[in-house]
Structure 1
Amino acid sequence: MKRRDFIGSMAGTAGVLSSGAAPAAAPAPGSAADQRTYQLALLQKMAMPVLQAMAKGQLHKVFPLELSPTWYGGDPRFCYLECFGRLLAGIAPWLALPDDASAEGRLRRQMRDLALQSLAHAVDPASPDYVAWRGGNQTLVDSSYLSNALLRAPDALWKPLSSQTKQRLIAEIQGVRRFEPPYNNWLLFSAMNEVWLYSVGAEGDIVRLGTAIRKVNEWYAGDGWIKDGETFHFDYYNSYVMWPMLLEILEQMVKLKLAVFRDKPDQLLAQTLKRSQRYCELLERLISPDGTYPTMGRSLTYRTAVFQPLALLALRRQLPASLPEGQVRAALHAAHQPIWRNPTNFTPDGFLTLGFAGHNPAIADTYSNNGSMYIASTGLLALGLPPADSYWTAPSLDWTQKKAYANLPFPRDYAVNY
């Protein structure tokens, strides 16, 4: 069976591949073990073609760019940074798991080595895969996903790098300051870069960092939702950017004792966690009994990145008490099925395509390209928990909408005021 076909053909299950060939035997459909095996196979399917190419300095050569039919005209060279940075942000926690002798452990070692080689190419001006750090302001966005990946797995992705590659990365991230962020979610991209620089002992910009934190808190609209700037957008940018980045930036600010004017980062972090937990309660309720979810707002082609906050809080062991681990895991497994079962989500060579539940470029936004699609990997963040973790071993539980439409008891829902 060809690599590009196996996920769609296994009726909701998939095995971990040892070398990109035939899948291993999968556990019983619907079991907790099967749910992890499915996600791991999906991670490998997304990541391996990108990392294998970039580790050899060949991503620019083999990655087939697909731009939105309504492309806004920006320099498409930054699409490769989009692809690599967003992919790494999603797989970083899994790469950070300790080595072992299992098939998964051997796969992880291989992919980690490929990721480290790819990082060296990304900042080497002599490499064919040197990414377009100066190609346009979209670089600000996707440099931050790369910074986010390094924050999520410093021991796996930062410490092993050569001193030359480290210095090049720092210089390129600092150089992205040439692009001024607009007053919307982009402020968090700038802040993510700055807090990462502080985390590795480099010179950061406290003004960029503090401004982003203050403005995003001013934009809190209530009941778990943040406006994107001065305007409320009923879309999934709270998932793609707002809650994950705000949480992780504040966590680093507390750790590094970085001040926010008239506020204390630890208090802001506690408040942000409660608010993001509320958002996750609402997010879980959007998953229908059959795993579909509402197609609303911008950037729907980001697919299951919609569920990044649920996966992130599971990874951090910070799910609210109202969302048991087995319920969240089963809900996310159900939500992956309608999206990823269509084989046209991938090109014949294994790269992601523009679309939603399959190749559908007509729904792409003007700024979208197939490199953008790799943010979908962030829906797999919970793979950073080892197989024996309770998240992966707890019995599967029905999620809220499944209970509701089966006429089973389910919790009422009320707005919160924190």
Structure 2
Amino acid sequence: MDNPLRTRDDLQDAVRALCEPLTHSPGGARVKVGTTAAHFDPEAAELEGFARPLWGLAPLAAGGGEYADWPVYLDGLTSGSDPGHAEYWGEARDHDQRLVEMAAIGFALALAPERFWAPLRPAAQERLAAWLGQINHRTPADNNWHFFRVLVNLGLENVGAPHDPEGTEKALDRLEEFYLADGWYSDGATEQRDYYIPFAMHFYGLIYAGLRPGTPRAARFRERAEAFARDFATWFAADGAAVPYGRSLTYRFAQAAFWGALAFAGVEALPWGQVKGLLLRHLRWWRGRPIFQTDGTLSIGYGYACLNMAEAYNSPGSPYWAMKAFLPLALPEEHPFWQAEEEAMPEVPALHALPHARMVMMAGPHVTALCGGQWASWNPRHVAEKYAKFAYSSHFGFSVPTGSVGLRQAAADSMLALSDDGRHWRVREESESKIDGHVVHSRWSPMPGVEVETWLIPHAPWHLRVHRLTCDRTVHSAEGGFAADRNGAVVEAGAGSARAGVSGIVDLGGERAGEMIVVDPNTNLIVPRTGLPSLLGEHPPGEHWLACAVLADPDPAAFEAAWAQPPTAADLPPR
């Protein structure tokens, strides 16, 4: 995308450019982006392809932006909601994907009815309202999905169509039960504290606050977002990259949608120039990534097209949730967000504990999150890799396995992988963890008869790891640092250390051998071919103490300087 992404006009152009490759069905109601499947039916997937661009098109319309294909969307709203039309979107069931996509349409009616409602014929308006109204008689997933009912009813109310105020209040009441403290929510009754907090729970709450500014709920949503903003700023690096963590990472620049939602709701949690910078730098970081397919549509993946990292609910149209990042286009040019000069990153602490997320954030050339681990009870794909690694990086990303045999397939970066047969490796999944100052402590068991206690200790620019391993039989261990691009990288491995380019790991116990593992391609989220510096060991039955230091730095000169002076066992805290 040849777009500087610095002004309101630039972002308007970006929305149009992202939508231009999408091909609508003859009736306008379906968009088939690709040939892969999600767990839901193809009709819902093609509705997803139609609806998700509205997260960007509705703000474009509300802000007076031009778009040549407005009539196509009017045709689609007419055809898709007509039970007698071949492109009818279908009846919604409990927990149906259609409920998710209804929210984008309700949002469009709330934000820009002059584009998406007023031009429809009365019969089409009646059918669209009836189709959307199904959400008031269906059971959503018990998490951020309750906001979908809220958004649909806000849209229906805005256009004078039948809606359900009581159902809206009940949904909002349930969402209140997910609030924790300090600006943090849970996404339902789970341990997950991932991007669904900023780009779902806060994002929808701030839309509500912008549309209903005088209500007590709106005031609470604004106050919570202001509290959350300083914590969330620590997830972003100076180059605009955010720390990839958790599920749904194929939504890409939705990671920064929270910053635009602050502007929409009028919440100056940080100076407007800093808020603007956080959003625009993030968009520019994505501009440099090969995230588009040959036809110009967004691919499933993160830093490149990669189905291996996706969830079962990711259809080819799923990535267009990224359009949430364009919410500020609904604001006029005169808004202080647009008038502000873009500013550098806000000052963030070198170390910042996030107890609600079980993380300690390390600022620097890349942001590192030291993690105690979270557990998603419904097991999204690669759940351990997305929630339970020891560390996550804005520059180095993380890896997911390709198979179940061998370390090449396991791709166990930022993990201690354990095996009792030398072929099949187990890692931290579920854990009990806590934050003690800036030290992350966890207890976990990868298999019966094997117990591990882990401490993660910041030691900038390094971090230290200490493990107390107890096993009732001989086990093999492989502890990985950060996976790094191996194209042209310096590779070294020997007694007690290993490095791959600007990523390395050093044993502080003197018992393990260094090895650079060439992991399978398409395991890492950021680059497709990586090497994984690792420490390998073998441990007989009993108790063992393992310790290492891990370093990664995007700047080769800074890496070399730090690599030449590694921490020693003397830097470890007493047992």
Aligned residue type for 2:82: D
Residue 152, structure 1, aligned to residue 111, structure 2? yes
1:224/1:351 Cα in 2 relative to 1: closer, same or farther (>3 Å)? same
1:41/1:248 Cα in 2 relative to 1: closer, same or farther (>3 Å)? closer
Q: 1:273 Cα deviation (Å)?
A: 0.9
Q: Is the 8 A contact 1:346 1:352 kept in 2?
A: yes
Q: 1:48 Cα deviation (Å)?
A: 2.3
Q: 1:122 Cα deviation (Å)?
A: 2.5
Residue 118 of structure 1 is aligned with which of 71, 76, 79?
76
Residue 378, structure 1, aligned to residue 344, structure 2? no
- Map 1:148-227 to 2 at 5 A: 148-227=107-186
Q: 1:398 Cα deviation (Å)?
A: 0.7
Q: Is the 8 A contact 2:110 2:155 kept in 1?
A: yes
Residue 400 of structure 1 is aligned with which of 327, 335, 346?
346
Aligned residue type for 1:350: G
Aligned residue type for 2:140: P
CA distance in 2, matches of 1:204, 1:353: 36
Q: 1:241 Cα deviation (Å)?
A: 2.0
In the alignment, what sits opposite 1:41? 13
Residue 97 of structure 1 is aligned with which of 63, 73, 88?
63
Q: 1:59 Cα deviation (Å)?
A: 6.6
Residue 293, structure 1, aligned to residue 242, structure 2? yes
CA distance in 2, matches of 1:254, 1:61: 35
Q: 1:34 Cα deviation (Å)?
A: 3.7
1:273/1:58 Cα in 2 relative to 1: closer, same or farther (>3 Å)? closer
CA distance in 2, matches of 1:239, 1:339: 18
In the alignment, what sits opposite 1:17? none
1:200/1:358 Cα in 2 relative to 1: closer, same or farther (>3 Å)? same
1:116/1:403 Cα in 2 relative to 1: closer, same or farther (>3 Å)? farther
In the alignment, what sits opposite 1:53? 24
In the alignment, what sits opposite 2:262? 313
**Which structure is larger by alpha-carbon Rg, 1 or 2?**
2
CA distance in 2, matches of 1:316, 1:250: 6
CA distance in 1, matches of 2:195, 2:211: 24
Q: 1:378 Cα deviation (Å)?
A: 0.7
Q: Is the 8 A contact 1:188 1:245 kept in 2?
A: yes
TM-score normalised to structure 2 length: 0.56
Cα deviation digits, residues 21-66 of structure 1 (max 9, x gap): xxxxxxxx6xxx844454333212222233x625x43674753243
Aligned residue type for 2:33: F
CA distance in 1, matches of 2:12, 2:348: 25
Residue 79, structure 1, aligned to residue 45, structure 2? yes
1:362/1:192 Cα in 2 relative to 1: closer, same or farther (>3 Å)? same
CA distance in 1, matches of 2:336, 2:89: 39
In structure 2, the gaps of 5 or more residues are 351-362, 366-575
Residue 273, structure 1, aligned to residue 216, structure 2? no
TM-score normalised to structure 1 length: 0.75
Cα deviation digits, residues 341-363 of structure 1 (max 9, x gap): 223x2222222211112211111
In the alignment, what sits opposite 1:130? 88
Residue 333 of structure 1 is aligned with which of 277, 280, 288?
280
CA distance in 2, matches of 1:298, 1:83: 20
Q: Is the 8 A contact 1:310 1:319 kept in 2?
A: no
Cα deviation digits, residues 141-169 of structure 1 (max 9, x gap): 11122111221222332222221221111
Residue 239, structure 1, aligned to residue 198, structure 2? yes
In structure 1, the gaps of 5 or more residues are 1-6, 15-28, 99-104, 256-265, 408-418
Residue 352, structure 1, aligned to residue 268, structure 2? no
Aligned residue type for 1:275: R
Aligned residue type for 1:294: V
1:42/1:402 Cα in 2 relative to 1: closer, same or farther (>3 Å)? farther
Q: Is the 8 A contact 2:254 2:325 kept in 1?
A: yes
CA distance in 2, matches of 1:402, 1:126: 56
CA distance in 1, matches of 2:244, 2:58: 28
1:219/1:339 Cα in 2 relative to 1: closer, same or farther (>3 Å)? same
CA distance in 2, matches of 1:394, 1:192: 29
Aligned residue type for 1:371: G
Aligned residue type for 1:92: A
Q: How high is the sequence identity, in percent, across the aligned residues?
A: 28
Aligned residue type for 1:358: Y
Cα deviation digits, residues 103-138 of structure 1 (max 9, x gap): xx5xx1424344333322332345554324447711
Aligned residue type for 2:266: R
1:34/1:230 Cα in 2 relative to 1: closer, same or farther (>3 Å)? closer
Q: Is the 8 A contact 2:259 2:276 kept in 1?
A: no
In the alignment, what sits opposite 2:436? none
SS of the aligned residue for 1:398 comes to coil
Q: Is the 8 A contact 1:292 1:335 kept in 2?
A: yes
In the alignment, what sits opposite 1:303? 252
Aligned residue type for 1:378: K
Aligned residue type for 2:36: E
CA distance in 1, matches of 2:83, 2:20: 24
SS of the aligned residue for 1:110 comes to coil
- Structure with bigger RCO (C-alpha 8 Å, 6+ apart): 1
In the alignment, what sits opposite 2:410? none
**Greater per-residue helix proportion:** 1
Q: Is the 8 A contact 1:346 1:353 kept in 2?
A: yes
Q: Is the 8 A contact 1:338 1:357 kept in 2?
A: no
Aligned residue type for 2:168: L
Bigger drift between 308-317 and 268-277 goes to 308-317
Q: Is the 8 A contact 2:277 2:345 kept in 1?
A: yes
CA distance in 2, matches of 1:348, 1:174: 38
Give the length in aligned residue pairs.
352
Aligned residue type for 2:337: Y
1:125/1:39 Cα in 2 relative to 1: closer, same or farther (>3 Å)? same
Q: Is the 8 A contact 1:315 1:385 kept in 2?
A: yes
Q: 1:388 Cα deviation (Å)?
A: 5.4
Cα deviation digits, residues 70-102 of structure 1 (max 9, x gap): x4x32122012222222112221211223xxxx
1:316/1:191 Cα in 2 relative to 1: closer, same or farther (>3 Å)? closer
1:190/1:392 Cα in 2 relative to 1: closer, same or farther (>3 Å)? closer
Bigger drift between 291-300 and 277-286 goes to 277-286
Aligned residue type for 2:77: L
**Greater per-residue strand proportion:** 2
